[in-house]
Structure 1
Amino acid sequence: MSTAATVTQVETVVVGAGFAGLGTAIRLLRSGRTDFVVLERGDGVGGTWRDNHYPGVGCDVPSHLYSYSFRPRAEWSAVFAPGEEIREYLTEAVEDEGLAPYLRLGTEVLSMRWVADAQRWSVETTTGAYSCRTVVVCAGRLSEPRVPAAPGLESFDGPVFHSARWDHSVETAGKRVGIVGSGASAVQILPQVARDADSVVLFQRSAPYVVPRENRQYTPAERRGLSRVPGAVERLRSRMFWDMEQGLAARRAVPGFVDSLRATALGHLAQQVPDESLRAVLTPDYEIGCKRVLLSDDYYPAVASSTVTVVPAALREVHGSTVVAEDGSEHELDVLVLATGFESTRPPWAERVVGRDGGTLAGHWDAGMSAYASTSVHGFPNLFVINGPQASLGHNSAVFMIETQIEHVLGALEHVRSSGVLEVSRTAEEEYSTWLDEAGEGTVWRTGGCTSWYRDDRNGRLTLLWPDFAFTFRERFGTFDPAGYAGAGSVLG
């Protein structure tokens, strides 16, 4: 533990240097606040886009919408940017905005503890200690890889690694490669690996819905126009945003909308996979939108190639180089890739946060995550969580939600400056959670017949999703209202 003499005093500690953390830092700095630090355990910025550098990594939200509205970029190379370009965008933001002096890279947070007498947070890290009035946690939902509990996995005879920890020293060309999982990462990885691998075995626990990606490069003329014409980028962003907002109708199972989306996905499958038996294996047994709808033009052709074998079962166990699936089939492999997602509903960092009554945030969330305005938690004064519980979207850009939360938090920080302590009431948090549960009724996330990372398996609640339009979240919480911290009624109406 650090001694009092080595404790750095700051107004605000921001945890994480991904989209949320850097966005918060930029807005703090632009508003004239300089008494803050950004703590990042990695050796660079970018969060998800730093950690995920597997072959084919890219975004499934259009580039112009998956970027800060206060840092528009006219020079995106394509409609859907590759992962490295997104990371470069964030790195450029650090340089252009002068954030480097506020970053503490290679600094892992060990504990965050509320000190009631001082009315401040004590933050212990691997590189020193901090005392601050407010903490903004921007650790994200996709930062802790989930590894399947398959007996023998740790003793696999060849290289084994998670997709978010890709080992580029491992050669997959000419090898027998296993890919565990069939979500967003697997759909991007498989076509790349299948190009030159000897064989690929895909362990598919459940088939995803896949719709055409239809990506393309922006022409030089388009990029020039976006750069030179006043308001061009903003108009493009707006059009993309409202186009994506319409996707909520399908998630609410509105007839016509959900039917159209389902027909698009199944038509894409039928067009690209002529073999009926394989097509049956690749056909989901739940309603579209219940899980994340994936975008790809090359996944199905790769799966249908002679190189790939689809095993419609999860991983069961490993014996040396023999990988056994839940259906009993055995497969000899040289390399094993775990595209198995993240600990999204049980964030490990919550175990390191100790609140007013001495309990951890993980304990508070033992029955499922919750937070008033998707941002503040009862019992944890002056602590704000961005991109955490009930802040995800199943149909639009996460960056829009992050920016909305940042605006809410900036207002809250101003309130803290004058009042000292800000804590949401238990009633407000519980009423907000009840409202969210009611808002999620009838959606495909609750009634579509699937399990997904959107829902907590402990209670079945949509503890990650905001089950409404993105614009309504901004209308309700984009401006901080201190009255909302006394009761939810004045905000939710």
Structure 2
Amino acid sequence: MINHVERKCVVFQKEAIRELDVVIVGAGFGGIAALRRMTKDLGLDAIVIDKAPGIGGTWYWNRYPGALSDTQSFMYQLPFEEELYHATNWTMRYVTGPEIRQYLEDAVDMWQLRSKFELETELRSATFDEDSQTWLLETDRGRLRSRFLITALGLLSRLNIPSFPGIENFKGRVAHTADWPEGLDVAGKRVAVIGNGSTGVQFLTEAAKSVKHLTSFQRTAQYSIPAGNRAWTPEEMGEFKARCQERWEEFRRVKLGFGIDEEYERGTFSVSAEEREAIFEAAWQKGGNYTFINETFCDVYENRDANDEAANFIRRKIAQTVKDPETARKLTPSEVFARRPITDSGYFEIFNQPNVTLVATGENPIKEFTEQGIVTEDGTFHELDVLVLATGFDAVDGSYRGLNIVGRRGESLNEHWSEGPRSHLGMTVSGFPNMFMILGPNGPFVNNPPAIGIQAQWISQTIATVMNTPGASIELSPETEAAWLQRCLDALEGSLFLETGSWIFGSNIPGKRKPRTANFFVAGLDQFIETAETEIAQGYPGYQIHVPATA
């Protein structure tokens, strides 16, 4: 606890304000990691608030059937916590949503942090008070004042619900995958799904096992790689436990942090056509989206001809798997293979089932919603009991757009980001002193748990530089913010990512994508860590530390 701050409640406009060292917003991986660092490393009086009634963040809300991580389980854990790592016994290659929620609950209990979570508490506004150099927070349960504010809102937390004219006519059940109603069981029902990104693919694959009939309304055909989910052998489990520290040290040398054998040298055309096919086939059989892209060749996302080779391999697999040629045609993507990769547990195979129908809305749009279902332009009536919206998220900065966060000189975060989000390292924003983000815009495009652990450590070290000086604050300079955005943009130069309509750039939200949008730093975890550590080692040259004259 900061020793110079007297714990009390003060009266502000006739309402008591609770005073704290740190308020953390978000009770998922990021919020839990931040709380761990604030309490264990710094001994600060910190709490986590979240509007949800339970711990889990994104994973609390995403309870749809089939919810599964797409990162191998031995790497989908908070780093630098050996006791927790050894206590976690995930036996499958990929982890289900309920298992992830239990893991986070177990972490909170192991670290005796449960009393520091204030759930069903929604942040309404956060305003930096320049006189006291503190943050004043309005919640639906009262006011808080904290010296430091950490937002851990998650990359995917604000639902995207597109406007579907007439959807209110439908009298059946409507559910978004990221707000799955408790007790909703689709078994034996006639179900339609709008959306076939990662979530849609997972739900469709699982629902096809039990529904009466399943209709997929597909806007964009997807490249998807088999997950290759299986049980780990006892020998593999032992190796994961023994090497966890080594894996965490490896973050400084790798680009993604997924625990795969990243290929940095072998180009797609450095081998014969026969060898190339064999390498793709081996990766396909092994399973895993990042395995297929990053263990095969080093130039799939940078070289158009190389990308075509990978894309054509997947297209051939779709044609081999889906028996009906017309359905296979509709499922075959034509765009560049450069969206965030999808992994599945038999997605293309479900379209061979007699109870599964595909509607390609680009060719046959939805004409109208009726009380009992959907009518498409060709006149077909699709009778439904349940309509599932797998329409994704207003991602990354979208998580912040609904909040009123106000920094110096009355500038809101939305105003600051009017031409697109910008930050330093996805953690700090110019004009918002003593505010830190976990997985904020311009952060690393890597495996999320390593990024979260690294950012939580950096934030802890940075707070430590000012916390014992009364009234001191640390603030990102505008020049450093601008330079980091440019570096993010430079890293994207020549990348095929730019040619897709992906949520990575906000393209799924009409009007969101700006000319200078770089929601992620794509140059790799190694470069990200080097930059973050250099900032600390050099005494924060990109920041201004404000110390009151009376300190």
Q: TM-score normalised to the size of structure 2?
A: 0.81
- SS across alignment from 1:161: strand
Structure 2 CA distance for partners of 1:440 and 1:324, relative to 1, 3 Å: farther
1:294 aligns with 2:349: no
Cα separation, 2, equivalents of 1:441 and 1:388: 21
Q: In structure 2, what residue type is equivalent to 1:380?
A: F
1:457-477 C-alpha deviation (Å, 9 max, x unpaired): 431544322221122111111
The residue that corresponds to 1:307 in the other structure is 355
Q: Does the 8 A contact of 2:29 with 2:56 survive in 1? A: yes
1:124-165 C-alpha deviation (Å, 9 max, x unpaired): 112221111110100112112111101122332100010011
The structure 2 residue matched to 1:190, chosen from 191, 204, 209, is 204
The structure 1 residue matched to 2:39, chosen from 19, 29, 49, is 29
Q: Does the 8 A contact of 2:422 with 2:442 survive in 1? A: yes
- SS across alignment from 1:483: coil
Deviates more, 1:157-166 or 1:329-338: 329-338
Q: Tell me by how many angstroms 1:486 deviates.
A: 5.9
Q: Tell me by how many angstroms 1:274 deviates.
A: 3.2
The structure 1 residue matched to 2:387, chosen from 331, 336, 339, is 336
Q: TM-score normalised to the size of structure 1?
A: 0.90
The residue that corresponds to 2:278 in the other structure is none
Q: Does the 8 A contact of 1:408 with 1:480 survive in 2? A: no
The structure 2 residue matched to 1:459, chosen from 514, 529, 545, is 514
Q: In structure 1, what residue type is equivalent to 2:216?
A: L
Give identity over the alignment, percent: 30
Q: Does the 8 A contact of 1:186 with 1:339 survive in 2? A: yes
The residue that corresponds to 2:314 in the other structure is 265
The residue that corresponds to 2:243 in the other structure is 232
Q: Does the 8 A contact of 1:79 with 1:216 survive in 2? A: yes
Cα separation, 2, equivalents of 1:159 and 1:233: 45
Cα separation, 1, equivalents of 2:186 and 2:13: 49
Structure 2 CA distance for partners of 1:392 and 1:334, relative to 1, 3 Å: farther
1:428-477 C-alpha deviation (Å, 9 max, x unpaired): 2122212211211111111x3x2110113431544322221122111111
1:138 aligns with 2:188: no
Which structure has the larger Rg? 2
1:14-73 C-alpha deviation (Å, 9 max, x unpaired): 111101110111122221423111111111111111111111110001111111112324
The structure 1 residue matched to 2:450, chosen from 397, 400, 412, is 400
- SS across alignment from 2:318: helix
- SS across alignment from 2:37: helix
The residue that corresponds to 1:353 in the other structure is 405
User: Superposition RMSD on alpha carbons, in Å?
Assistant: 2.6
Q: In structure 2, what residue type is equivalent to 1:405?
A: Q
Structure 2 CA distance for partners of 1:454 and 1:226, relative to 1, 3 Å: closer
Q: In structure 2, what residue type is equivalent to 1:404?
A: I
1:94-141 C-alpha deviation (Å, 9 max, x unpaired): 000111121111111111011111111001112221111110100112
Cα separation, 2, equivalents of 1:403 and 1:316: 47
Cα separation, 2, equivalents of 1:225 and 1:377: 40
Cα separation, 1, equivalents of 2:263 and 2:422: 24
The residue that corresponds to 1:152 in the other structure is 166
Q: In structure 2, what residue type is equivalent to 1:474?
A: I
Cα separation, 1, equivalents of 2:464 and 2:71: 32
Cα separation, 2, equivalents of 1:35 and 1:203: 49
Q: Does the 8 A contact of 2:427 with 2:436 survive in 1? A: yes
1:411 aligns with 2:461: yes
- SS across alignment from 2:109: helix
Q: Tell me by how many angstroms 1:292 deviates.
A: 1.6
Q: Does the 8 A contact of 2:152 with 2:439 survive in 1? A: yes
Q: Does the 8 A contact of 1:182 with 1:208 survive in 2? A: yes
Could you tell me which runs of 5 or more consecutive residues in structure 1 were left unpaired when the two chains were aligned. 488-493
The residue that corresponds to 1:490 in the other structure is none
Q: Tell me by how many angstroms 1:253 deviates.
A: 1.8
Q: In structure 1, what residue type is equivalent to 2:325?
A: E
The residue that corresponds to 2:64 in the other structure is 54
Q: Does the 8 A contact of 1:2 with 1:124 survive in 2? A: no
Q: Does the 8 A contact of 2:191 with 2:386 survive in 1? A: yes
Cα separation, 1, equivalents of 2:66 and 2:12: 43
Cα separation, 1, equivalents of 2:186 and 2:458: 46
Q: Tell me by how many angstroms 1:406 deviates.
A: 1.4
1:282 aligns with 2:331: yes
Q: Does the 8 A contact of 1:390 with 1:462 survive in 2? A: no
Cα separation, 1, equivalents of 2:259 and 2:514: 32
Q: Does the 8 A contact of 1:37 with 1:104 survive in 2? A: yes
Structure 2 CA distance for partners of 1:326 and 1:211, relative to 1, 3 Å: farther
1:65-84 C-alpha deviation (Å, 9 max, x unpaired): 11111232451121111111
Cα separation, 1, equivalents of 2:325 and 2:65: 29
Structure 2 CA distance for partners of 1:226 and 1:140, relative to 1, 3 Å: closer
- SS across alignment from 1:367: coil
Q: Tell me by how many angstroms 1:357 deviates.
A: 1.8
1:378-421 C-alpha deviation (Å, 9 max, x unpaired): 1211111111202252xx41111112221221122122324712
Cα separation, 1, equivalents of 2:160 and 2:379: 23
1:168-211 C-alpha deviation (Å, 9 max, x unpaired): 43342332211010001111111221222221111111011101
Q: In structure 1, what residue type is equivalent to 2:543?
A: Y
Could you tell me which runs of 5 or more consecutive residues in structure 2 were left unpaired when the two chains were aligned. 1-10, 251-256, 265-292, 507-511, 546-551
The residue that corresponds to 1:323 in the other structure is 374
Alignment of 1:342-491 (within 5 A): 342-344=393-395, 345-349=397-401, 351-391=403-443, 393=445, 396-417=446-467, 418=469, 420-446=472-498, 448=499, 450-456=500-506, 457-478=512-533, 480-481=535-536, 482-485=540-543
Q: Tell me by how many angstroms 1:324 deviates.
A: 4.3
Cα separation, 1, equivalents of 2:389 and 2:205: 15
Q: Does the 8 A contact of 2:53 with 2:120 survive in 1? A: yes
Q: Does the 8 A contact of 1:408 with 1:479 survive in 2? A: no
- SS across alignment from 2:422: coil
Q: Does the 8 A contact of 1:409 with 1:480 survive in 2? A: no
Q: In structure 1, what residue type is equivalent to 2:70?
A: D
Q: Tell me by how many angstroms 1:218 deviates.
A: 1.8
Cα separation, 2, equivalents of 1:347 and 1:272: 38
Structure 2 CA distance for partners of 1:226 and 1:452, relative to 1, 3 Å: closer
Structure 2 CA distance for partners of 1:474 and 1:324, relative to 1, 3 Å: farther
